[in-house]
Amino acid sequence: MNTNEKIHQAFNNKETVEVKNVYKPYKEQKTLLGKGNTNAKTKKNAIETYILYLSPYTENSKNINVCPKASKGCAAACLNTAGRGQMSNVQKSRRNKIEYYLHDKSKFINHLAKEIKKAILKATVKGNDIAFRLNGTSDIDFIYLLKKYADFDALNTPDNVHFYDYTAILGKARKYKDTKYAVTLSRKEDNQSEIDTAIAEGINVAVVFANELPAEYNGAKVLDGDMADDLMLTNKGIVLGLKAKGDAKKDESGFVVK
């Protein structure tokens, strides 16, 4: 008799049956957020930063795309396997986290909220600023989910707390434009018209360049986005210029501006 049959029989007979070894496609984790000093860019930030990494795109058992607007060029240039991401244990951890999120979303979000609150309390006691980037390798509206599942309003946190992300979704960048959640729209080979719209509306955009960064791009000032990851927190209506790295150097899709 399998587990489901035991549960069904117990329900019909009004008996209590201990069910053991219930399969879960992920292992329980103590921590979801990583410290920014493990990332080449976030470790350059002026303030303490925490970042969440999940396996990107459809790299999960449910084949759900957690980067819904990712283009072919974006996928090919993804930084999921850059730096420490090349390590098998790091990839295993990211896969485990996405399975946790997809199979037990409420529990995952409440776990995430608990970690964020703990980090905020610690930083506040020390009198420090703190930042969170919840989409290191994904494009999920965690700000909305934290409010929905954990009743945690990230937009109504103390002044020393900051949230920021990159996104490929113009609607998301617009939604949070005038909030404390700084969202930068990423240019891809298939969204130039949206990038032009974002620039016209004063929304920060990120553009990957093959060579030296220009002083301006489509009328907006270009800052060296590789200098730090949190420039979007203190600069508005600008272009974060990023130099092509890794596989992006071989790009022929138009994702990288030449």
Question: Model confidence over 214-227: pLDDT tens digits?
Answer: 999 999 999 999 99
Q: What pLDDT is attached to residue 47?
A: 94
Q: Are 218 and 199 in contact (CB under 8 A)?
A: yes
How does pLDDT run across 195-210, given as a tens digit for each residue? 999 999 999 999 999 9
Smallest Cα–Cα separation from 80: which of 139, 30, 31, 129?
A: 139
What does pTM read for this prediction?
A: 0.86
pLDDT at res. 87: 62
Give residue 3's pLDDT: 43
